[in-house]
Amino acid sequence: MKDSNFLKEMNARSVWHPMAHPADSQQNPPTIVTGAQGVRITDVDGHEVVDGVGGLWNVNLGFSCEPVKAAIAAQLDRLPYYSIFRGTTNDCVIELAEELRDFFAPDGLSRAFYTSGGSDSVETALRLARQYHKVKGEPGRIKYLSLKKGYHGTHTGGASVNGNANFRTQYEPLLPGCYHIPAPYTYRNPFNETDPEKLAQLCLQALEDEIAFQGAGTIAAMIMEPVLGAGGVIPPHESFMPGVREICSKHGILLIADEVITAFGRTGSWTGSRHWGVQPDLMCTAKAITNGYFPFGAVMISDAVAEVFEKDESGRAAIGHGYTYSGHPVGAAAALACLAETKRLNVKDNAAARGAELHEGLKSLQADLDLIGDVRGGHGLMCAMELVSDRATKAPIDKARINQVQEVAYQSGAMVRVSGPNIILSPPLVLTSDDAQVILSALRAGFDSL
């Protein structure tokens, strides 16, 4: 392997990184990861740390999941690619769809439309929602509702429903007809409401108001994450998602659950929707569906939505959408093996237990440190700390200080993710208690360095 400085120089010269200023890799060379085992990653300098990020919320089973690796290798040997566009299919995607149907049965979802990742899944769900209403004879239902602080990938539809200006401003104009509802974010909200249940009711009222303002008959779908992830791990009060479901059903609006992060156990339940006792009409999945080893995703579709398409005789239900890599046989083989391991290891229960430990640990850090304004989590292995320079005014911490916490935490044994004023933890779901303690003590070292 080339030496560390050489790679850093080449990287700065030739690679543009997602979600970073192109000049950033010259000033702050990124960590060059060269290997991984279990829940640990190793960098080009031989430094090994616990991966508190879990790849990018996707490596749920860790980096050494042999059955998934073996399935990928075997499938590459047998059938490395064939398309499933009209007229052909492959055996893996059929088998996988049957497994997904079983897995998602409690969510009321039975059909799979395959994609090559999370943004594709979001785009697919948004398009299917509009098409559903056209097939049903309500072509005026074209608008989308979503939550402020929500993250739905970076394709144009997804960016249009995204609720964070950083992912929107440079790419405007985006899709017309997208409207954002306040998120049930207790730490900061336009209502200055600190009680989660009351805040949930206020946000639900805002949703009702927006629907009344737009006219229910103009709205195709509401898309939301069951627990907002990239926006800073914001779990709503338990009444929120059921409330959204009720309002959507009342107004004939489809509910799209964006479970690109939350499906397959991360919240401590098999899906985030199930966590809140909700059945969505469409569900976006990706990431952990293949443990991050292969780009792949699926939009799961409810019986009721599927029947509208399948019973159509007008031709409007013909799907003019799909990707070259929809139903990639290698991805499908990876997903099949991954699903089997996910269930065999019952990772949702470990996510719940280790998530509670991490959340507790972060709360004790907060008790000692004024810089930690808010700690969020308590629903599986997704937690965040929001850092402030002043607890009373909640003024965000400056970038250099939060970067220092991250850097020292890394030197002390854990990779954590910084997103705006938040430090986010989303480790593999096979984390042990000892690994969780490594993450917590590395973070403490990071704070101590300030």
Window of 1-9, 114-122, 136-144, 388-396 that interacts with ligand PMP by CB under 6 A: 114-122
Contact criterion met (CB below 8 Å) for 262 and 54: no
DSSP tag of 166? G
Window of 147-155, 181-189, 192-200, 211-219 that interacts with ligand PMP by CB under 6 A: 147-155
Residue among 92 and 261 whose Cβ is closer to ligand PMP: 261
Closest by CA to 116, choosing from 328, 321, 282, is 328
Residue among 152 and 237 whose Cβ is closer to ligand PMP: 152
Q: Which of 123, 225, 386, 435 binds ligand PMP (CB under 6 A)?
A: 225
Restricting to residues 275-294, name those near ligand PMP by CB under 6 A: 286
- Smallest separation (angstroms) from ligand PMP to the CB of 122: 5
Q: Does 123 bind ligand PMP (CB under 6 A)?
A: no
CA distance 397 to 446: 14
Residue nearest to ligand PMP as judged by C-beta position: 118
Pairing, β 254-258 against β 282-285: parallel
Window of 66-74, 115-123, 200-208, 365-373 that interacts with ligand PMP by CB under 6 A: 115-123
Restricting to residues 395-424, name those near ligand PMP by CB under 6 A: none
Restricting to residues 11-70, name those near ligand PMP by CB under 6 A: none
- Smallest separation (angstroms) from ligand PMP to the CB of 194: 26
- Smallest separation (angstroms) from ligand PMP to the CB of 262: 8
- Smallest separation (angstroms) from ligand PMP to the CB of 230: 5
Give the DSSP H/E element, type plus range, for residue 51: strand 48-51
CA distance 259 to 276: 13
Residue among 226 and 361 whose Cβ is closer to ligand PMP: 226
Residue among 144 and 309 whose Cβ is closer to ligand PMP: 144
User: How many residues line the site for ligand PMP (CB under 6 A)?
Assistant: 14
CA distance 401 to 389: 9
Q: Which of 261, 382, 431, 440 binds ligand PMP (CB under 6 A)?
A: 261
Contact criterion met (CB below 8 Å) for 436 and 398: no
Asked if omega into 173 is within 30° of 0 (cis), the reply is yes
The number of residues in the chain equals 450
- Smallest separation (angstroms) from ligand PMP to the CB of 33: 18
Q: Which of 54, 62, 117, 272 binds ligand PMP (CB under 6 A)?
A: 117
Q: Which of 123, 258, 374, 386 binds ligand PMP (CB under 6 A)?
A: 258
Q: What are 427's two structure tokens?
A: 């480790």
- Smallest separation (angstroms) from ligand PMP to the CB of 338: 15
Contact criterion met (CB below 8 Å) for 271 and 316: no
* Three-class DSSP category at 295: coil
Contact criterion met (CB below 8 Å) for 125 and 282: yes
Measured at the CA of 310, the angle between CA 309 and CA 312, to 5 degrees, comes to 65
Pairing, β 143-147 against β 219-224: parallel
Q: Does 230 bind ligand PMP (CB under 6 A)?
A: yes
Q: Which of 161, 203, 260, 299 binds ligand PMP (CB under 6 A)?
A: 260
Measured at the CA of 444, the angle between CA 438 and CA 448, to 5 degrees, comes to 145
Q: What are 184's two structure tokens?
A: 């049930």
Contact criterion met (CB below 8 Å) for 414 and 439: yes
Q: Does 118 bind ligand PMP (CB under 6 A)?
A: yes
Site residues, ligand PMP (CB under 6 A): 117-119, 122, 151-153, 225, 229-230, 258, 260-261, 286
